Amino acid sequence: METPRHEFDRIPARRPALTRERLLRAALAVFADHGYAGASVRRICQRARANPAAVKHYFGNKEGLYQEVLQAASSAFAGTDPTAGGFADPDERPPEEMLRDLIRDQLRPVLRRNTIGRYLKVFAWEDMQPSRPYKQFLASGRAPAVASASSIARKLLPPDASNEEVAVATAWLMNQAMPFVRNRDVFRAAPFGLRYDNAMVERLADRLTHLALTGLAGRPRRLD
C-alpha cells in the first residue's frame, strides 16, 4: 500500500541539508502511529523519501533515531521550543495550575494531530509497551513530564508522604487523561457519546484535575 503524503513530503528529496530533518519528522509520525516496536526503518524512510543508509549516517540505527525523537519531545515539553507549548518549570506556578496544564496537555491529541499530539502518542505507546530506549531515556532524567508530575505530587501530597507514595502518585498523574486519548472512538460512541471539541477538553481537564487534587490531598481542593 502506498505511503500517504504529508506536508513535509513536499520538500524535494534531492536537498541533502534537509534529509536529517525529514527523517526526524517522518520518524515522529511513524513512532506515534505504530510505537517503537511496530515502527521500521524502511517505513520511516519511505515516508521521508530517504535512503535507509541516511539513518545509519545521521543516527546510527533505529534506536538512535528514536532517542533523537524522545530528545525532541523533551525539549518541546521543557519549553525550549516556544511554538510547541509544553510544561513550564513546576516551581514557577501553583501546583494546582501546573496539574491542570499537565492533564490538558495529555488531552491534546484528541483534538488534532499536531507535533505535541504526536509526542504524547509516542509516550502513550510507551505506557503500554515500554521499550528499552525509552527506559534508558527515563533513567537519564531527561523526561520533563515525569519531573513535572513528580514535583506536583510532592507539593500536593501530605508533607510526610514517602518516596513510594510520591512515585505512585507520579505514575498516576502521568496517566490521568490517557484512557480518553487511547479510547477516543469508544467514548465518542454510545452509550457514552462524548463530543471531543475544545470546550469538552477544557471541561474534562477541570474534572480530572479536581479528582486528582482530591485523591492526592485526601480532601477536596479547589483551583481558586
Residues of the chain with CATH 1.10.357: 69-217
- pLDDT for the residue 220: 42
User: What CATH number labels 69-217?
Assistant: 1.10.357
Residues of the chain with CATH 1.10.10.60: 7-60
Asked if 176 contacts 170 with a C-beta cutoff of 8 angstroms, the reply is no
- pLDDT confidence tier of residue 215, bands split at 50, 70 and 90: confident
Q: Which CATH architecture has domain 7-60?
A: Orthogonal Bundle (1.10)
Write out the three cell numbers for 36. Answer: 517503537
Q: What is the pLDDT of residues 35-90, one digit of tens each?
A: 999 999 999 999 999 999 999 999 999 999 999 999 888 766 554 443 444 444 54
- pLDDT for the residue 221: 47
- SS3 string, the chain, reads CCCCCCHHHHCCCCCHHHHHHHHHHHHHHHHHHHHHHHCCHHHHHHHHCCCHHHHHHHHCCHHHHHHHHHHHHHHHHCCCCCCCCCCCCHHHCCHHHHHHHHHHHHHHHHCCCCHHHHHHHHHHHHHHCCCHHHHHHHHCCCCHHHHHHHHHHHHHCCCCCCHHHHHHHHHHHCCCCHHHHHCHHHHHCCCCCCCCCHHHHHHHHHHHHHHHHHHHHCCCCCCC
Lowest-confidence pick of 14-18, 111-115, 191-195: 14-18
Alpha-carbon 213 to chain mean position = 22
Write out the three cell numbers for 177. Answer: 487523561
Q: What is the pTM of this model?
A: 0.61
